[in-house]
Amino acid sequence: MNDHFAPQYAGPGGRSGGGRVQPLVRESRENLSFAVNREVFVSREIFEREQRAIFDRCWIYLGHASEVRNPGDYKTRSVAGRPVIFCRDRSGQVHGLINSCRHRGAIVCREREGNARGFYCMYHGWTYNTDGTLRGVPDEASYPPSFDKAAMGLAHVPRLESYKDFYFVSFDRNAVDLETYLAGAKAYIDLVVDQSPSGRMEIISGIQEYDIKANWKLLVENSVDDYHLVATHSTWLNYMRNSGVNMSPPKGSGLLLPTKGLGKDLGNGHLTTDNPNYRGRPVARWISVYGEDAKADIEAIRAELAARLGEARAARVADTNRNLAIFPNLVINDGSSVTVRHFTPVAPDLMHVTAWALGPVEETEAQRARRLHAFLTFYGPGGFATPDDVAALENAQQGYASWREVPWNDLSRGMAKNEHTNTDEEHLRVFWRRWSELMEAHA
């Protein structure tokens, strides 16, 4: 049997008129069809089940080591619905601490970021060290002999691991180790890190935050969907053409874009586009979009890459673009800049997006200025791409109000092909198969 139906849902609207359970993802390899039930974007019950089946089980991005560079540095974040302190203690060890007092549960670190010698609960005055240990309890003598101060430190997240300075959290103590989980995504993170002569990348000061009134899974799809580029981002395409970049596909090629890219399955639900570079980036071959003054500097960067990595690896790092989606909700856009984009589901029709620019620690002021210009003008919430994407996703979400009458999204593009390009939908199907697998296991 080549048909795959998973997972099934018997909640509100989940049954047909005859009482049959409706599949949420429907795939037939025999008929070369793949469809997703639009209820997955609107149902509160499905949304709540995702929190248990996916976000409680997978590795979820927490932050980059460069954000807590010094002892005492901290960031407070919401991770899979939990308040977490991402911090470096006084001895230099990185921690993920549950931001909740062990006494009566109040938040102990109320600032978004900073440097501290410890954390203080404003409710009853309990204090904690930056490694989470309990430092002080007002009127400690009033507690009975059974009170164990050593056991009352801030709880640590069950699992905290890193790869190339990217830190992830898992709330499943039995989860596979992070490197196993990342599978083929590691090779694409390596391409990002290889841009630095020392192998040290850093989050650049500044942050982008915005909400999208759409389901979080739509941003996963959109981030690796090059099929929408020509229709949705015509303003940017015209800008690139006016800047001297050839954006026209070769005549008779059948391509939508000037070069043929690929969509790839990296395992465990991770996926990427892998494209020859045509849009320009701070380490790519010089194009006019960066201006004549940048030509010599970019050629020097390429020479350093070739000397350090060899010509083939240097070309791989500099002359290809990729949008890497790490399941479930992290995207690293390695294109005209490197953008680390994390999005948190808030409701079935709402997500909160946080994005940072990432760059080599060795960059000069001019190099960093070019990187930030690309970060703002393409991926930023006021740039060429993101406002178009937000409008498209919110339009789709509005359309899903009719999910009972028009229940299915078609994702069959490219199913008859042996090699899947970046404008096909096989890499989108990778996400949905993994989503289905986890949701079915938790049904």
| pLDDT tens per residue across span 312-341 | 999 999 889 899 999 999 999 998 789 999
Where are the domain boundaries for CATH 3.90.380.10 in the chain? 184-441
| pLDDT tens per residue across span 112-159 | 999 999 999 999 999 999 999 999 999 999 999 999 999 999 999 999
Contact between 54 and 439 under an 8 Å Cβ cutoff? The reply is yes
> Among 38, 7, 389, 67, which Cα is nearest to 210's?
389
| pLDDT tens per residue across span 235-258 | 666 666 666 666 666 666 566 665
Question: And the tokens for 5?
Answer: 């139906």
Where are the domain boundaries for CATH 2.102.10.10 in the chain? 63-170
What DSSP assignment string belongs to 47-75?
Answer: HHHHIIIIITTS-EEEEEGGGG-STTEEE
Q: Is the pTM of this model over 0.85?
A: yes
HSE of 349, CA atoms in CB hemisphere, 13 A: 13
| Superfamily (CATH) of domain 63-170 | Rieske [2Fe-2S] iron-sulphur domain (2.102.10.10)
Please name the helix (run of DSSP H) or strand (run of DSSP E) that holds residue 26, with its range, or none.
strand 25-28
With vertex at residue 269, the alpha carbon angle to CA 36 and CA 231, rounded to the nearest 5 degrees, is 55
User: Which ranges constitute the DSSP H helices of 210-294?
Assistant: 216-223, 229-232, 234-242
CATH architecture of residue range(s) 184-441: Alpha-Beta Complex (3.90)
